[in-house]
Amino acid sequence: MTIKVIIVDDQAMVRAGFAALLSAQSDIDVVGEAPDGREGVEVSRRTHPDVVLMDVRMPEMDGLEAARQLLDPPRGVTHRPKVLMLTTFDVDDYVYEALRAGASGFLLKDAPPADLISAVRVVAAGEALLAPSVTRRLIADFARQRPAPRRDGPALRRSGLTPRETEVLELIARGLSNQEIAESLVLAEQTVKTHIGRVLAKLGLRDRAQAVIFAYESGLVTPGQ
Amino acid sequence: MTIKVIIVDDQAMVRAGFAALLSAQSDIDVVGEAPDGREGVEVSRRTHPDVVLMDVRMPEMDGLEAARQLLDPPRGVTHRPKVLMLTTFDVDDYVYEALRAGASGFLLKDAPPADLISAVRVVAAGEALLAPSVTRRLIADFARQRPAPRRDGPALRRSGLTPRETEVLELIARGLSNQEIAESLVLAEQTVKTHIGRVLAKLGLRDRAQAVIFAYESGLVTPGQ
DNA sequence: CAGCACATCACCCATGCGGCTCATCGTATG
DNA sequence: CATACGATGAGCCGCATGGGTGATGTGCTG
């Protein structure tokens, strides 16, 4: 099964270069191109690519907005491609915007050609990949964001939840589905359900909505970060 | 200028393999090895490597603790190597622990050899690099953490909810089921479902659990009282 | 009056979720 | 060594939940 790719970039030469590079791979098929975000979205809707290579800076509609539209499609549109953002410059605002929108990767155009090719494969496989400098910032941000360990609310302490159960409860309170919790903790969904069942039983709650309430009321999570 | 590397892993064969692989590079010099975290820290203090390849799971002192000691050194120790964590296949909380500790990368041992080599170079250059699966989770986590620039202030924009919809949302945030909400407001359950459907759609939420979160985060309801 | 937003309710359908039971494994704890 | 607990995960089952579509009545407003 070949990987279908479209290339969205306002510079024709860049498109041609990437297309040539990727088409030379037996497992990659360039099925479309577009010079701006608006057309990029159209081409994507029409060709249903697995991966969209998206330049950040473009006329008409920039790559970020286009990425948002592709990754949060309107009703009726079921196709959701992976989006790999490309940029010439190393600018961090764009990075965060793109990742928030759900992009699967962020590469600089000066990366080695081999990196671009492998990035397409990685992204198509459902994984993600970032330029090293971007990774560094993301990690720094992550480390800064929560160096603080957990503090227990009074209600929590008496609840008799195990550490794992508490962890699951917190993810419920972040709005994750069972499947997402499973992925986040690297567990089978069934295990998550078991944990949740115990949490609900121990706390005398009926469903996850009440679990969210408990999490807020007990201070396990707090409004505003 | 060659990159000085030490390898910390409890499996001698793994150490030998990595050492051979890296030593074959003209710009990389393996200057030490250690079978556990404790000795790894000692060797690092003695040899002052640029990069420490650190297995996560080890006897005596695991890679996470060793990484913490290397990245947050006591007084008098000025040397601070870059730490590149390695693991066989566990991609779980270790990752977050390691990144929090300040590790520059996290790779799976089944990655292509070329990846390891380039990772060493990337890390030595002060950048960072993660295994694709790790990157994916980090991005997912990031996107979830800050889904939108926090339209803060108690003056929340409840994005066009009608009075009745707001009322229903509040009851959801009190933990009531659809049937209970219906009884509470003297409505048919179907009507409640319609209201909830609109609330979820207008707010871009998936289920009532997320609705509860929104209610707390927006200040519609507040913890305590 | 026509148009519109809002509230109300019905029907259908797919499925996420929670209840329940049971099994395995590792680590404390006695 | 036996026991208990925590974590993991499988299978089954029923129902609440959420999505979609459509209809009716009301009150406000141009």
Between residues 145 and 184 of chain A, which touch chain B (CB distance below 8 Å)? 145-147, 172-177, 183-184
pLDDT at A112 over 90: no
Beta-strand ranges (E) seen in chain A are 3-8, 28-34, 51-55, 82-87, 105-108, 129-130
Q: How many CB pairs under 8 A join A and B?
A: 137
Residue type, A33: E
Chain A, nearest residue to B104 by Cα = A136
**Predicted local distance difference test score (pLDDT) of residue A153:** 46
DSSP three-state, residue A144? helix
Whether chain A has a CB inside 8 Å of the CB on B129: the answer is: yes
Cβ within 8 Å, pair A136-B127: yes
**Predicted local distance difference test score (pLDDT) of residue A225:** 57
Fold of A154-218: Arc Repressor Mutant, subunit A (1.10.10)
Fold of B163-218: Arc Repressor Mutant, subunit A (1.10.10)
How many Å separate Cα A99 from the centre of its chain? 6
Determine contact, residues A150/A157, Cβ cutoff 8 Å: no
Residue B185 in tokens: 């407001």
- Round to a whole number and report the distance in Å from the CA of A198 to the C1' of C20: 12
Q: What does the pLDDT look like over A176-195, one tens digit per residue?
A: 999 888 988 888 889 999 99
Q: Is there contact between B193 and strand D, defined as CB under 7 Å from any strand atom?
A: yes
- Higher-pLDDT residue of A149 and B67 is B67
Determine contact, residues B55/B14, Cβ cutoff 8 Å: yes
pLDDT at A217 over 70: yes
- Round to a whole number and report the distance in Å from the CA of B208 to the C1' of C14: 18
> Mean pLDDT throughout A21-33?
93
Determine contact, residues B173/B215, Cβ cutoff 8 Å: yes
pLDDT at A204 over 60: yes
Shortest alpha-carbon distance between residue B63 and chain A (Å): 17
Whose CA is closest to B207, among B215, B194, B221, B196?
B196
Cα gap A39→A46, rounded to integer Å: 10
- Round to a whole number and report the distance in Å from the CA of B83 to the C1' of C7: 61
Q: Is there contact between B187 and strand C, defined as CB under 7 Å from any strand atom?
A: yes
**Predicted local distance difference test score (pLDDT) of residue B13:** 87
Q: What does the pLDDT look like over A113-153, one tens digit per residue?
A: 888 999 999 999 888 888 888 888 887 777 666 443 334 44
**Predicted local distance difference test score (pLDDT) of residue B225:** 53
Q: Is there contact between A208 and strand C, defined as CB under 7 Å from any strand atom?
A: yes
Half-sphere exposure of residue A187: CA atoms within 13 angstroms, side-chain side: 20
> Mean pLDDT throughout B26-49?
92
Q: Examine domains B3-144 and B163-218 and report if their fold is the same.
A: no
Determine contact, residues B133/A127, Cβ cutoff 8 Å: yes
CATH class of the domain at A3-143: alpha beta
- The nucleotide lying nearest A208 (C-alpha to C1') is C17
Cβ within 8 Å, pair B211-A207: no
Q: Where are chain B's structural domains?
A: 3-144, 163-218
Q: What percent of chain B stands above pLDDT 90?
A: 37
| Chain C bases having any atom below 7 Å from a protein CB | 5-11, 16-22
Shortest alpha-carbon distance between residue B11 and chain A (Å): 25
Place of tokens 């360039």: A30
Shortest alpha-carbon distance between residue B51 and chain A (Å): 15
Whether chain B has a CB inside 8 Å of the CB on A188: the answer is: no
**Predicted local distance difference test score (pLDDT) of residue A24:** 93
Q: What is the DSSP code (8-state) at residue B205?
A: -
Q: Please name the member of B132, B143, B213 whose beta carbon is closest to the beta carbon of A122.
A: B132
pLDDT band at A92 (very low <50, low <70, confident <90, very high): low
Determine contact, residues B215/A216, Cβ cutoff 8 Å: no
Cβ within 8 Å, pair A141-B142: yes
Cβ within 8 Å, pair A122-B130: no
The fourth-level CATH superfamily of domain B3-144 is Response regulator (3.40.50.2300)
- Round to a whole number and report the distance in Å from the CA of B43 to the C1' of C15: 56
